[in-house]
Structure 1
Amino acid sequence: MSANNSLFINPFSSRYTFEEKLFFWLRFGVLGCFVGHGFWGIITKKGWLPFFKVFFINESVAYNFMPLIGGMDILIGLILFVYPNRALLLWASFWTVFTALLRPSASMGMSEFFERAGNYGVPILFLLLYGLPRTTEMWLARLKPLTSVSFEQSYMVEWITRLSLFSLLAGHGGLAVFMQHPILLKNLNGIGLNMGVESLQIFGLIEILLALLVLFRPRIPGLLIFICLYKLSFELLFPIVGKPVDVFETIERMGDYVLPMILFEYYRSKYYILARKQALATKA
């Protein structure tokens, strides 16, 4: 039976296979990240200025570049959702890592880089899952849902998602513990939690503990669903506490919600059982 290649499916429905859900979640994660990020370029977000200063680009030139970068991001996100291909996934992987690295380069701390693992973890997984071909034709060919998942691909799905989730949770916790990030304080205080520095650090330590659970005990019942709902709820604080337009901050972090769903579906699939059996057989 051929896989369903529709643009939109219900990834929560049992009608679809793991491969079909995986294909949708990966495309959806990249779409949200690039459209959300691109929007801030279109409206020339002042918070981007420090990233241009890393390359000694002055403010007026930076503001001229922002809409071009934002438009490029949105276009790439839309193309990868409709016509996913390895060439653009290679660019998406590079671009998301590059933009995440700009934050510590602009003296914002390494936690900012690790916290954005949801942005780069999704396109990296997408690209490596389908492999790096040798011909130009295959780099540009439209990708389709996998018909099956090999042991190596199964291993890749589990560990890239686990490491990405660990990184984004630990990085977010690091923003609270080491930096007492003002945006975290603003969002949490904005819903009446009255967080001080010490309570914010405790909050961050709990997130780091959650990250360690994902790394070492990801199959605790309900853990991955909790992380998905927690991350979505937390990032929704941007438009709730700030302005409605800040919902694009929530959208940009789509990978944070997609990754736990991919891992959740993987542990429910036949591939996890087969991978466990093969791993045990190898040890024996």
Structure 2
Amino acid sequence: MFRVTYNKVWSKLYLLLVYFLFLTMNNVRKVEWVLRISVAGEFVGHGVFALQGRKAWVEWFSIFGISDVGTATTFLWLVGLIDVLLAVLILMKPVRLALLWMAFWGFWTALMRPIAGDSIFEFVERWANWGAPLALLLLRGIPTSIGGWLPPKQSKAGDLPMQ
């Protein structure tokens, strides 16, 4: 009984906090957060599947000459770990270089389906896998210098500069 009440109270407080934070944001900021959460969710989901060693995904490595199941499983586990870490990073700070990689990786993994012999519509269905990180990158702005792809350095006062 206490546990149910405790969870309900925290759930309501959390929803109330999200509601008030969302009310204080302008539309661009709201879109940015929707994209950040969406991109993170997609990469956490696929990352966990990779960490679990999905059989079909392990078999795709043979297309590129990696036929040893143990090696393919290890590579897939590393990919899954990177996906999950990138998801956490994007929630904390949408680093442009990470978003560029996520857009490329989403495009490539979506393209894997027709390369592996599936219908082209398996690729089409997954356009959001690369489109959402690309949209977030475009929203954040394409940098004009190499340094712009990396997170900004903190000032002496500890504040992040405006981007």
TM-score, length-scaled by structure 2: 0.76
Question: Which residue number corresponds to residue 32 of structure 1?
Answer: 41
8 Å contact from structure 1 (residues 133, 139) kept in 2: yes
What CA deviation, in whole Å up to 9, does each residue of 1:129-186 have, x standing for no partner?
23321323321126x9x99xxxxxxxxxxxxxxxxxxxxxxxxxxxxxxxxxxxxxxx
Distance 1:108 1:12, change over 3 A: farther
Equivalent positions of 1:40-59 (< 5 A) are 40-58=49-67, 59=69
TM superposition shift of 1:10: 3.8
Q: Equivalent of 1:125, from 135, 138, 144?
A: 135
Q: Equivalent of 2:79, from 69, 72, 75?
A: 69
In structure 2, C-alpha distance between the alignment counterparts of 1:108 and 1:91, rounded to whole Å: 24
Greater RCO structure (CA 8 Å; 6+ sep): 1
Which sits farther off after the overlay, 76-85 or 8-17?
Answer: 8-17
Q: Give the root-mean-square deviation of aligned CA atoms.
A: 2.4
| Correspondence 1:19 to 2:28 | yes
TM superposition shift of 1:12: 9.3
What CA deviation, in whole Å up to 9, does each residue of 1:63-110 have, x standing for no partner?
121111100100011101101111111101100000000010000111
The alignment partner of 1:54 has SS state of helix
Question: Which residue number corresponds to residue 111 of structure 2?
Answer: 101
TM superposition shift of 1:15: 3.8
Q: List structure 1 segments (4+ residues) > 3 angstroms apart after TM superposition.
A: 8-15
TM-score, length-scaled by structure 1: 0.45
Distance 1:33 1:11, change over 3 A: farther
Equivalent positions of 1:1-284 (< 5 A) are 9-10=18-19, 13-58=22-67, 59-141=69-151
8 Å contact from structure 1 (residues 37, 73) kept in 2: yes
Question: Which structure 2 residue ranges, 5 or more long, are not aligned?
Answer: 1-16, 153-159
Q: Percent identity?
A: 35
